[in-house]
């Protein structure tokens, strides 16, 4: 196979394999209905895009945190809050400690759901899961439109939270539950708090703790009366709101190429694709490079024109073609003498008739000599003499 065709075949094979690997890899992705992330970037029923869009329409400036850099939040004259909606990747103890420092810098904080349990404990509460969901009391809403939650808030009663789960990294996270100036109940369900607003001492920012993220999901805002309640906790209070998207998997600096390479290193199908690509490239390199000195080509010399003509003459003599040449020349004379330039029949019979009706003795002698050349095997000299005789006969008849 030629190198160009080999390269084309290799590229086509790698392309088909890449498409197959991408298809197989996509089967492991969660479907829209199964995606449980409460992200403001998702419009699926379990996402929280509707909550963010509604806040923006109410005049709240939105920002999305895609790198866990709390130092970027605050530091200006805006009333700012960070909202952590039930992180898909739970907050680490050290991250929870970092979050507790935001109210002291004048940045308010809202932590929601069991994924943020580490931060909730640092403020003295934890989510308490219920065996069955209960309806939330919403002012001005009937029982049918009230949202339901599967967890409520429970006060821990612990003044200092010590988390030693990071001991293998030689780190222990410690957070002290701050004293509160006031605690306001924002929502109740079954006689127990679902959402509280805390105002720590010696802190300018407040803290909202919520037990269940279901109150913020797109489906809940569409079919229940939870919208005005959860929007009222933020709208009018804060000028700018940051949403934590890092713990939902939306990070800055990613690209499709980087994700594909990372997936190919972690997936067995990706490793298979790398192996096939490497083998294909090695095959292309081996087929394109010639090892050793070039082989000398066969020396095929072309025959000269004289040698070619001589060979044709020998073939004509071996095949008895001299008689054919004589017949062709006599036939050419007959065509020139025939009216219309067309003649049929054997040229020998025509020559016999011409000799018998010759108008003069010279023409009869020339014709008789031609009749003698046709007997037996003609020679090369007779072929040449026939050419001269035919020309003389044309002159005799033309005159």
Q: Could you write out the DSSP letters of every residue in 291-360?
A: PSSPPPPP--PPPPHHHHHHHHHHHHHHTT-HHHHHHHHHHHHHHHHSGGG---S-HHHHHHHHHHT-SS
pLDDT surpassing 50 at residue 26: no
State the Cα–Cα distance between residues 132 and 148, nearest whole angstrom. Answer: 10
Average pLDDT, stretch 215-244? 95
Residue 366: C-alpha distances to residues 76, 225, 330, 369, 387 (Å): 128, 129, 12, 5, 12
Q: Which of 206, 256, 259, 251 is nearest to 64 (CA)?
A: 251
Q: Can you list the pairs that 16-21 forms with residues at least 24 positions away whose Cβ atoms lie under 8 Å?
A: 17/273, 17/276, 17/277, 18/273, 21/264, 21/269, 21/270, 21/272, 21/273
Cα separation, 89 vs 38, whole angstroms: 11
Dihedral sign, CA of 253, 257, 259, 265? negative
Report the alpha-carbon distance of residue 351 to residue 366 in Å, rounded. 11
What would the CATH number be for the domain defined by 38-248? 3.40.50
Q: What pLDDT score does 340 carry?
A: 62
Over 50: is that where the pLDDT of 91 sits? yes
Task: Cite the beta strand spans of 160-279 per DSSP E.
Answer: 160-163, 173-176, 180-189, 192-200, 207-210, 240-244
Residue with tokens 């933020």: 234
DSSP letter at 237 equals: T
- Nearest 5 degrees, angle CA 170-CA 176-CA 177? 140
Q: Does the pLDDT at position 379 exceed 50?
A: yes
The CATH 3.40.50 domain(s) of the chain lie at 38-248
Q: What burial class does residue 369 get, using C-beta atoms within 10 Å of its C-beta: 0-12 exposed, 13-18 middle, 19+ buried?
A: middle
pLDDT over 70, % of the chain: 78
The pLDDT of residue 151 is: 96
Q: What is the mean pLDDT of the chain?
A: 83
Q: What's the pTM?
A: 0.57
pLDDT band of 7, cuts 50, 70, 90: low
DSSP 8-state code for residue 27: T
What confidence score (pLDDT) does residue 361 get? Answer: 86
The better pLDDT of the pair 160, 397 is held by 160
Question: Token pair for residue 353?
Answer: 């008739």
Residue 208 is given by DSSP the state E
Residues in Cβ contact with 199 at an 8 Å cutoff, skipping those fewer than 6 apart? 180, 181, 182, 183, 206, 207
Q: Are 62 and 241 in contact (CB under 8 A)?
A: yes
Q: Write out the two tokens for 146.
A: 């009230």
Average pLDDT over residues 45-71: 94
* 343 and 394 Cβ atoms separated by less than 8 Å: no
Tokens standing for residue 104: 């002291």
Segment among 42-56, 98-112, 183-197, 266-280 with least mean pLDDT: 266-280
Residue range 205-210: mean pLDDT, rounded: 96
- Of 70-84, 121-135, 332-346, the poorest mean pLDDT is in 332-346
Question: Dihedral sign, CA of 69, 71, 77, 81?
Answer: positive
Using CA atoms, how far apart are residues 197 and 108, in angstroms rounded to an integer?
A: 10
**Looking at per-residue confidence, does 358 or 164 come out higher?**
358
Instruction: Provide the β-strand partners of residue 173.
Output: 163
- Identify the DSSP state of 172: -
């Amino acid at each position: 196979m030629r190198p160009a065709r080999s390269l084309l075949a290799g590229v086509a094979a790698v392309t088909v394999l890449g498409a197959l690997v991408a298809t197989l890899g996509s089967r492991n992705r969660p479907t829209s209905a199964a995606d449980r992330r409460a992200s403001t970037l998702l419009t699926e029923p379990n996402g929280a895009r509707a909550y963010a869009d509604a806040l923006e329409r109410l005049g709240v400036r939105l920002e999305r945190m895609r790198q866990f850099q709390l130092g970027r939040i605050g530091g200006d004259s805006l009333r700012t809050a960070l909202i952590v909606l039930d992180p898909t990747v739970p907050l680490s103890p050290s991250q929870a400690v970092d979050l507790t420092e935001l109210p002291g810098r004048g940045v308010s904080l809202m932590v929601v759901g069991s994924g943020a349990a580490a931060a909730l404990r640092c403020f003295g509460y934890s989510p308490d899961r219920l065996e069955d969901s209960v309806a939330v009391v919403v002012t001005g809403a009937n029982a049918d439109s009230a949202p339901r939650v599967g967890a409520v808030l429970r006060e821990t009663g612990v003044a200092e939270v010590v988390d030693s789960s990071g001991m293998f990294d030689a780190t222990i996270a410690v957070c002290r539950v701050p004293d509160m100036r006031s605690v306001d109940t924002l929502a109740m369900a079954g006689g127990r708090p679902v959402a509280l607003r805390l105002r720590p001492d010696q802190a300018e920012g407040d803290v909202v703790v919520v037990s269940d993220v279901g109150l913020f999901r797109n489906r809940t805002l569409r079919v229940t009366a939870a919208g005005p309640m959860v929007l009222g906790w933020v709208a009018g209070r804060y000028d700018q709101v940051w949403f934590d998207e890092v713990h939902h998997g939306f990070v800055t600096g990613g690209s499709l190429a980087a994700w594909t390479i990372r997936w190919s290193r972690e997936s067995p199908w990706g490793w298979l694709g790398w192996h096939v690509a490497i083998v294909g490239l090695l095959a292309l390199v081996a087929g394109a490079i010639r090892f050793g000195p070039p082989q000398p080509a066969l020396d095929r010399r072309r025959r000269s024109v004289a040698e070619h003509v001589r060979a044709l003459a020998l073939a004509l003599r071996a095949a008895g073609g001299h008689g054919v040449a004589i017949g062709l020349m006599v036939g050419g004379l007959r065509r020139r003498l025939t009216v219309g330039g067309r003649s049929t029949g054997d040229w020998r019979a025509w020559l016999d008739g011409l000799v018998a009706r010759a108008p003069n003795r010279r023409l009869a002698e020339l014709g008789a000599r031609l009749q003698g050349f046709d007997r037996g095997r003609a020679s090369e000299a007779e072929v040449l003499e026939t050419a001269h005789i035919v020309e003389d006969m044309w002159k005799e008849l033309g005159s």
